[in-house]
Chains A and B, each alone.
Chain A
Amino acid sequence: MLETLYQEIILDHYRHPRGRGHLEPPKIEHEGANPLCGDEITIELRVEDGRVSAVRFSGQGCSISQASASMLTEAVEGKTLEEVRQLIAQVYAMLKGESEPDPEVMGEIAALAGVRNFPVRVKCASLAWHVLEDALRQVNGSSQ
């Protein structure tokens, strides 16, 4: 069962995170944490013409939280806001075990489905996505 959690692709994202870093302004920035375990993720993104044109993450935490954030940056860059919102909903459904991941849509993110066997780790995998969801709320109210 451990192999389903610590898949090669997850450990690879943990060791070699994609999209780790910062953006120059203008940008939307949001941070979140799991206070009980100390995982911290900050997402910075730029929205142009209704699309996420750039996204970066920073923070610290366990392999699952950091790999999930790394996958997130790859997955959402270039997507329309609507597509991103749909993706977030699909990720939540997958992590909760409500739906099987569609590899066509989810790509590498499907590897995170392994946390379903480890209930205490679901919040690690979902943290970055919650931060992104909160960050997107700022988009509606902003000039971007």
Chain B
Amino acid sequence: MGQTGLSIQKRHPIGYYFLSQTKSLGVTIMKALQSVIEAYQIRRQFPYFQPHPEMRSLIYLDNAATTQKPYAVIEAVSHFWAYHNANVHRGAYGVGAKASEMYESARARVAQFLNASNPNEIVFTRGTTESINLVAYSWGMSQIREGDEIIVSEMEHHANLIPWLQVAQAKGARLVVWRITDDGRLNLDDLRNLLSERTRLVAITHISNVLGTVNPVQAICEMAHFAGALCLVDAAQSIAHMPVDVQAIGCDFLAFSGHKTYGPTGIGVLYARYELLQSIPPFLTGGGMIRSVDWDGAQWADPPAKFEAGTPPIGEAIGLHAALDFIDTIGREAIEAYEHELTQYTLQRLQEVPGLRLYGPQPDRAGIFAFTLEDIHPHDIATVLDNFDIAIRSGHHCAHPLGDRLGVPSTARASIGIYNDTEHIDALIEALHKVRKVFGYA
């Protein structure tokens, strides 16, 4: 158990040891040293990873689908529902005021987390999908005209694709596809050729939920703006894994979900520049989003209330607040550095499995690994892994056009979170060898 070229420190059931990784030299080592994350200590903060009669001990590698929830989030939500529950922005009684204050404090926390200049640029939604639909229906349906063009990349999740297809079809606009390179990246020169005076929007994912590609969203937004278009960033897969600063990125819209950030389901965020929120019509209408109403019509409340018709997900917003606190306690730079190291380790180990084909760029990528193994169907891979208590996803990952481009309707996908460590990856590799055996590959 010598200490050689430290990259990831972890605790083995019988003691500490350090994993040697010869490639990790220089800057990488320094980064890792500065940001030693002990995954076992992080797992302690999650009931999901503690022994319980209803739980079977599981290696959870499906974080791109959803993340587990720390005690802090679960306790924040249950504390709100137990002691502070009231509707927001309504009751004149003290409890109602407290609930409103907690809800608005969650909004301010999100603004701070994203480095938005104003909490009123944060709209709470049910998730990334609803956030993007809000932009598509409010901004898209009111601003897009016949002959306009919307650019989406070939690696978009359906959530950032179908709403734009809908807008394009309804308005006679054209959806322009930014194709990926053979190694699963986006080439900025290709974007330059696609942009024109007809372009109204570039809708782009920050990190691909299949390929793990980290897109240069800052440059993309800059190019979109130069062409006179707006830029929407789908941050569902990046928000919990790296610093995301809307002012640095320069995006006009950014969307993410609470449940992929160690927070609750049913809560999502749309960041939009305040002038945009002011200028576009509401998405859903009803209570809570009007200034005044009579039989002739209604006047909308100021953003963000204008976009939050009905009772919002209050407890969920408070849970999201706790989740962002949880993430920042670890530190987003530290998380990024740790997951980068674990990603490099995973890439290296996946290469050891004969017949495994990994999709997406290498080595610079996020911790999302879509792969096929020989001609074994991904569902069969997932079933065998499940039998060894390893949870991964299999299927098309809600990205049909990307599957067509890659020539595979279905892949298996492992994706890491802050509580995973090299031991989990070792178990995955061992189980993949067993998958081969079950299907008759030596």
Is there a chain A Cβ closer than 8 Å to B396's Cβ? yes
Known contacts A37-B379, A62-B377, A11 near B440 by CB under 8 Å = yes
- In the complex the two chains form, is A62's CB within 8 Å of B380's CB? yes
Known contacts A5-B383, A63-B377, A124-B379, A38 near B439 by CB under 8 Å = no
A residues in contact with B219, CB < 8 Å:
none
A6 to B440, CA, bound (A): 11
- B406-440 contacts to A (CB < 8 Å): 409-410, 438-440
Count chain A residues whose beta carbon lies closer than 8 angstroms to a beta carbon of B: 18
A120 to B379, CA, bound (A): 10
Residue of B nearest to A12 (CB): B440
CB distance from B208 to the nearest CB of A (A): 19
Known contacts A37-B394, A38-B396, A61 near B377 by CB under 8 Å = yes
CB distance from B440 to the nearest CB of A (A): 7
Is there a chain A Cβ closer than 8 Å to B361's Cβ? no
Main secondary structure of the interface of B (DSSP, over half): mixed
Size range of the chain B interface in the assembly: 10 to 19
- In the complex the two chains form, is B410's CB within 8 Å of A2's CB? no
CB distance from A26 to the nearest CB of B (A): 31
Known contacts A37-B379, A38-B410, A118-B383, A6 near B438 by CB under 8 Å = yes
Residue of A nearest to B400 (CB): A38
CB distance from A66 to the nearest CB of B (A): 8
A residues in contact with B193, CB < 8 Å:
none
CB distance from A13 to the nearest CB of B (A): 13
Is there a chain A Cβ closer than 8 Å to B108's Cβ? no
- In the complex the two chains form, is A38's CB within 8 Å of B395's CB? yes
Known contacts A11-B440, A38-B395, A2 near B379 by CB under 8 Å = no
Name A residues whose Cβ lies closer than 8 Å to a Cβ of B: 1-2, 5-6, 11, 36-39, 60-64, 118, 120-121, 124
Q: A2-B387, A38-B409, A121-B383 are in contact. List 12 more A-B contacts (CB 8 A).
A: A2-B438, A6-B380, A11-B440, A37-B395, A37-B410, A38-B395, A38-B410, A61-B379, A62-B380, A63-B376, A63-B377, A63-B380
